[in-house]
Amino acid sequence: MPEVEIDKIAISDETLRLWFIESNIKYQTRRARKHRRWRERKHHFGEMVQVDGSHHDWFEGRGPECVFMLYVDDATSRRYARFYEYEGTLPFMDSFKRYAKKYGLPHSIYIDKHSTYKSPKEPSIEDQLNNREPLTQVGRALEELGVDVIFADSAPAKGRVERNFKTFQDRLIKEMRLRKIKSIAQANTFLRHYLPGFDKRFGVEPIEKANLHRPLPDNIDLDAIICIKEDHPLRNDFTVAHKKKLYQILDRTNAKKVTVEERINGRMLIIYKGKALKYREITQRPKKKEKKPKYLFTMVKKERYRPPRSHPYKSFKRSPYSHINSYPQKEKGGQKEKGLLLTKP
């Protein structure tokens, strides 16, 4: 406190603050907290599901660090979760596929603006004409399934799922420590028995009894929707380039473009008009032929010749009086020319 160091007078912060107010003196104050309005829970089970991933040392050093993917229903706080090695497109697709098979398709999901879910790319001309934003693979799959995506502007906006992370980082870690769980597979098996009991104790009854989860149609192929899809041109030699690899199409087709699908289970399909084409990977590409030179002889740049010190040119010196008449004038053809006069010493 400067008043103690200089004037030897001890004054509390509150007294000094009140003096400043009485004297109308401005002083530094705390930044006002941003006002956030309380949001009411949704009324129906499946109306909105909050989804997020938590990076944490869940096994306390007994196993690898991993991500806890958590689904929390906004109306009932019912939870679904799985452990994955990382947070990305395929882990989200796998967890959402399992969630949809268990409960059905929710009306909407509430997620953050992670690059996995919201594309950072600028809208293309086609996107601008259709008045839409560029979609990630996750956004495209959810759009095909008819699930609305709501992006959260901040972490507190997903307060329900964020508070659950704090709870699980305390309770779940201790439960897995007692059972000496040290791998992702063991943890996922344990969650099947742990989460129902947890929901029974801490779940909430919805305001409305109706369930807004849509059941999966019998003829739907989830693997063909919940996957990574990329369109590629088919070359004249019936080859397709995908992720720096080359694939030879074995079926006859008139396609100009084909769709490469990377499934969750690791399979890769090349599709044209709903039909999977036969293909094989080209592991060794043909070597390019060396181009023959256009000319019979090639031009070689010669190095500049530098005479040695013993060369007569090195011993040639100017006259000490050359500056007097260094440029004598010569008459030639009625014109005067200047020439450099060099004399030997």
Residue-wise pLDDT tens digits, 247-270: 999 998 888 999 999 999 989 999
Asked if residue 335 has pLDDT above 60, the reply is: no
State the DSSP code for 157.
Answer: G
- Residue 322: the pLDDT is 52
By mean pLDDT, which of 19-33, 113-127, 180-194 is the weakest? 19-33
Nearest to 84 by CA among 60, 105, 54: 54
What confidence tens digit (pLDDT) does each residue in 184-197 have? 999 999 999 999 99
Query: What does the alpha-carbon distance between residue 111 and residue 117 come to, in Å, rounded to a whole number?
Result: 8
**86 φ/ψ sector (left φ>0, alpha ψ -120 to 50, else beta):** beta
Share of the chain above pLDDT 90, in %: 53
Domains of the chain in sequence order: 49-202 (3.30.420.10), 227-282 (no CATH)
Q: Name the pLDDT band for 38 (thresholds 50, 70, 90).
A: low
What confidence tens digit (pLDDT) does each residue in 306-316 have? 888 787 777 66
Q: Which residue has the tokens 């084909």?
A: 258
Nearest to 157 by CA among 95, 124, 227, 110: 110
Query: What does the alpha-carbon distance between residue 54 and residue 82 come to, in Å, rounded to a whole number?
Result: 11
Q: Which is more confidently placed, 15 or 146?
A: 146
Asked if residue 280 has pLDDT above 60, the reply is: yes
By mean pLDDT, which of 6-10, 190-194, 224-228, 324-328 is the weakest? 324-328
Q: Which two tokens stand for residue 294?
A: 């256009």
Most confident of 31-45, 61-75, 294-308, 310-324: 61-75
pTM over 0.75: no
Residue ranges of E strands in the chain: 49-56, 66-73, 79-84, 108-111, 148-151, 228-233, 239-242, 245-249, 257-262, 268-272, 275-276, 279-282, 329-332, 335-338
Q: Which two tokens stand for residue 29?
A: 């104050």
Q: Name the pLDDT band for 343 (thresholds 50, 70, 90).
A: very low
What average pLDDT is seen over the chain? 84
